[in-house]
Amino acid sequence: MDRALKKDPYNIIITGVGGQGNVTASRMLAGMLVARGYSVTIGETFGASQRGGSVMSHMRVSQHGSWSPQIPKGKADLVVSLEPSEAIRVLSGYGNPETQSLINDRPIYPVRVIAGDDKYPSMDEIRATIKKLTTRSFVISATEEALKLGSPIFQNVIMIGAVDGMGLLPVSIDDFKTVIVPSMPEDKAAINVRAYEIGEALVRG
């Protein structure tokens, strides 16, 4: 397992809806990269934006210290979205023709959609739009797979495993086991490793 950074800084945006745990996901990934000796800068918003709103974590991976905690427009290398329509929102601002993406296919309907005042795009429409805005993308059922493991909470680890599976970052399941797993309750270690493997396999096929 020896992958160099594809670019420096390598720019990742992890997006989703408040409450989905994108802060936790960005922390896990960052922890693994820092343990490999990289400098990581993360920018995120907490607070009001969490209450049903769109949330983003901007992550810069570099060998040369701190970067702006806000990624400039059009400079995302990888967009990881815990919710399908949020991927579109982020790609339209931060994507470029070389951007890759990983998307969880479980929608979270905005309240205006729930109330019938707005429409949620179909999965086909979302896939077609994402295809236009990325050079390579994966849509996986992380939430469904997590439910099979017993709780939607595992979806974020599945997504991290899938990021590894995409082969873009210098991380591996061994980093996950040595850096992240020790901070989890002991009885949750095995199932989280399983979640990571599931994610990796979903992308590697």
Partner 1 sequence: MSNLMHTAEGSSYLFMGNEAIARGALEGGISVAAGYPGTPSSEIIEQLARIAEQKNLYVEWATNEKVATEVAAAASFAGLRSICTMKQNGVHVASDFLLHLTGTGVRGGMVVVVCEDPGALSSQNEADARYFAKMLEVPLLEPGDFQEAKDMMKWSLDLSEELKTFVIFRSVTRMSHASGNVKIGEMPDLRPHAYFNCKGPLLDFATGPMITGPGAVAYARTVQHGRLKKAVSLFEQSPFNLYAGPEKPELLIITSSACYLYSKEAIDILNLADRVGLLKLGTTWPLPEKLIRKHFLRTGSILIIEEPQDFMEENIKILAAEAAGEVGAKIFYGKKSGHIPASGELNPDIVITALKGILHIQYEPVPQDYAKEAFQAVFKSPGRELTFCPGCPHRASFLSIHNALMLDNRDGFVCGDVGCYGIGVLPAGFSAVKTNFSMGSGLGLATGFGKLKQFGMSQSVVAVCGDSTFFHAVMPALVDAVHNKSDVMLVVLDNRGTAMTGFQPHPGLEIDAMGEVALPVDIGEVCKAIGADVASCDPFDVETAETTLLDMLRKKGARVVILKQICALSPEKRGKKLYQMSVREDVCKGENCGCNRMCTRILRCPGIYWDTVGKVSHIDEVICAGCGVCASICPSGAIRKEKVA
Whole-number minimum distance, CB 122 to partner 1, in Å? 10
Whole-number minimum distance, CB 25 to partner 1, in Å? 13
The CA distance from 95 to 81, in Å, is 13
The CA distance from 30 to 173, in Å, is 14
Binding-site ranges for partner 1 (CB under 8 A): 17-19, 30-31, 34, 39-49, 51-54, 65-75, 85-86, 88-89, 91-93, 95-97, 106, 108-116, 118-121, 125-126, 129, 132-133, 143, 147, 152-153
Whole-number minimum distance, CB 193 to partner 1, in Å? 21
Cβ nearer to partner 1, comparing 63 with 190 = 63
Whole-number minimum distance, CB 106 to partner 1, in Å? 7
Contacts of 102 (CB under 8 A, 6+ apart): 78, 79, 80, 81, 137, 138, 140, 159, 162, 163, 166, 203
CB 198 within 8 A of CB 161: yes
The CA distance from 197 to 130, in Å, is 25
The CA distance from 32 to 178, in Å, is 9
The CA distance from 3 to 14, in Å, is 21
Cβ nearer to partner 1, comparing 69 with 167 = 69
Cβ nearer to partner 1, comparing 44 with 197 = 44
Q: What is the DSSP letter of 179?
A: I
Cβ nearer to partner 1, comparing 136 with 204 = 136
Cβ nearer to partner 1, comparing 73 with 204 = 73
Whole-number minimum distance, CB 182 to partner 1, in Å? 10
